């Protein structure tokens, strides 16, 4: 069976419009061969991200899906065009990160089907593949043990040092960690990007702040993170979701660079 990125490349050449459903795992929406939106059952979608940020209640978003769509959302002024674009970008990158490696499920294409948040911005398959590869490399560089991504998050009983400074995402993870929920389960509860939570958990693991497999020695190439220095974090709560941009498809590359810069700072 061809890989998902190969199937999407084929649909791009055919300039297909519709939805490619990957079982119950997720869906890729295309317009004239271009990806407009992606969903993945493992991570929150743009609706959940908007609601968790305090911008729009999920009940209002559900009403807008069949009554006015994104035009109504923007007309009501609850989010700016740039904020919505930034939120959709985050949701698509998150879904792509977990969908593109998917194998074993035969996707089904439904012509003409679209997503209510899609159609304003477009994503190319090679660009998504490159960004997913960059994110995987960053996770491995931060903490190479992938078991931290699927194991329940358990806080260490004591600090490795005398003080610690956490980013907003790391703090939310620490507050919500109950020893039973995995990183992706926490991401859904928090309304945060699944990748952002994975990265936060691996950083906490590298700093010795969460319990990992104690029997396995720390690889020599991994350095303990120094979290004692103040770090710049992205705004939380009801603050802006992103920069003011005009919504042109060319802005996607700018937002990709911005998200990368924010990851470096957080």
Phi and psi of 123, rounded to 5°? -130, 135
The CB density around residue 86, as the number of other CB atoms within 10 Å, is 24
Render pLDDT for 55-74 as a digit per residue (tens, 0 to 9): 899 889 989 988 889 999 99
The first and second tokens of residue 69, run together, are 């769509």
**How far out from the chain centre does Cα 192 lie?**
7
Helix (H, G, I), strand (E, B) or coil at 196: helix
Rounded distance, CA 171 to CA 89, Å?
24
Rounded distance, CA 32 to CA 250, Å?
17
Run of H or E including 50: helix 46-52
Q: Helix 4-14 vs helix 125-142: angle between axes, to the nearest 10 degrees? A: 160
Render pLDDT for 201-241 as a digit per residue (tens, 0 to 9): 999 999 999 987 643 444 444 444 444 444 433 333 444 44
Rounded distance, CA 151 to CA 82, Å?
35
Rounded distance, CA 209 to CA 32, Å?
47
The pLDDT, as a whole number, for residue 218 is 45
Beta carbons within 8 Å of 206's beta carbon, 6+ residues apart: 142, 143, 222, 223, 224, 225
The pLDDT, as a whole number, for residue 216 is 43
User: What would the mean pLDDT of 139-145 be, rounded to a whole number?
Assistant: 94
**What are the C-alpha distances in Å from 140 to residues 134, 149, 210, 217, 253?**
10, 11, 17, 16, 24
233 burial type by CB count under 10 A (0-12 exposed, 13-18 middle, 19+ buried): middle
User: What would the mean pLDDT of 129-150 be, rounded to a whole number?
Assistant: 94
Beta carbons within 8 Å of 160's beta carbon, 6+ residues apart: 207, 208, 209, 224
Name the percent of the chain lying above pLDDT 90. 58
């Amino acid at each position: 069976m061809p890989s998902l990125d190969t199937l999407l490349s084929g649909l791009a050449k055919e300039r297909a419009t519709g939805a490619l459903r990957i079982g119950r795992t997720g869906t890729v929406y295309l317009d004239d061969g271009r990806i407009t939106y992606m969903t993945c059952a493992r991570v929150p979608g743009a609706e959940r991200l908007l609601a968790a940020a305090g911008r729009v209640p999920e009940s209002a978003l559900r009403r807008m899906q069949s009554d006015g769509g994104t035009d109504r959302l923007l007309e009501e002024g609850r989010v700016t065009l740039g904020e919505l674009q930034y939120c959709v970008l985050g949701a698509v990158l998150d879904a792509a990160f977990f969908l593109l490696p998917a194998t074993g499920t035969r996707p089904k294409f439904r012509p003409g089907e679209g997503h209510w948040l899609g159609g304003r911005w477009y994503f190319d398959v090679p660009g998504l593949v490159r960004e997913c590869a960059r994110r995987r490399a960053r996770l491995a560089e931060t903490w190479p043990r992938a078991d931290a991504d699927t194991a329940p998050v358990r806080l260490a009983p004591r600090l490795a040092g005398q003080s610690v400074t956490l980013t907003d995402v790391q703090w939310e993870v620490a507050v919500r960690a109950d020893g039973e929920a995995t990183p992706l389960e926490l991401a859904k509860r928090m309304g945060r990007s699944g990748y952002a939570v994975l990265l936060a958990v691996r950083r906490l693991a590298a700093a010795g702040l969460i319990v990992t497999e104690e029997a396995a020695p720390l690889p020599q190439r991994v350095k303990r993170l120094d979290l004692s220095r103040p770090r710049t974090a992205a705004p939380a709560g009801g603050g802006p979701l992103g920069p003011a941009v005009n919504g042109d498809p060319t802005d996607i590359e700018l937002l990709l660079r911005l998200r990368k810069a924010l990851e470096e700072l957080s």
